[in-house]
Amino acid sequence: MATWWLTGDTPSDVRQPRPVGSFPNSYAEQLTVTSYNHDGIPHSRLQTPRMRYYEATDTTLLDKPILWRYSPDHAPWLIQGETAQITQAGEKISLPGPVTIDRAGLGASPPYHIETRDLHMVAATNYAETDQAIRVESEDHWITAIGMQGWLQEPVRIKLLNQVRGHYDRQ
């Protein structure tokens, strides 16, 4: 049985070591993390059924993430995706695949429902962008476009980049 070692041949049942970084350094299941501002008020919340952290690349992978972004006197933004990759010490968040962004209406602020794909976010500024198709719905109004830049904090700004079409119902 040691012949394979002497000849350099590797039997098919012996596993080769995986490259560095292919195994997570830490993981968690059913994870919920809430961050607070200096006054003890929630700033953001992350919930995921599975998280894996890779130290070699300083990357965190999430399955089915749900992210809440809170703003005083306004309903929170709720961002959901199939997967997420967090890099640069938690500052950059990429959500490949389908993404929904929702915010309930509260007071004078209307509700929003946004559907898109391949969203990229900067956590510190609540900035989100995509170059994919997007649909924004609010009450009986809707807008579609290709590409978006959005600032999901007050005052909310959403810049639609190309092929913008919309429907506005005056009620």
| pLDDT tens over the chain, length 171 residues | 444 444 445 455 545 444 445 788 899 999 999 999 898 989 899 999 999 999 888 899 999 999 999 888 889 999 999 999 998 777 899 999 999 999 998 887 889 999 999 999 998 888 999 999 999 998 889 999 999 999 988 888 899 999 999 988 776
Residue 164 has what pLDDT? 93
Domain-wise residue ranges, the chain = 25-131
In this structure, what are the phi and psi dihedrals at residue 139, rounded to the nearest 5 degrees? 55, -120
Residue 135 has what pLDDT? 96
Residue 21 has what pLDDT? 52
Which 3 state secondary structure label does DSSP give 125?
Answer: helix
In this structure, what are the phi and psi dihedrals at residue 166, rounded to the nearest 5 degrees? -155, 165
Measured CA to CA, the distance from residue 99 to residue 117 in angstroms comes to 5
Long-range contacts of 82-91 (CB under 8 A, 24+ apart): 84/48, 85/59, 85/60, 85/61, 86/59, 86/60, 86/61, 86/62, 87/57, 87/58, 87/59, 87/60, 88/58, 89/58, 90/60, 90/123, 91/122, 91/123, 91/124
Architecture of domain 25-131: Sandwich (2.60)
Residue 74 has what pLDDT? 86
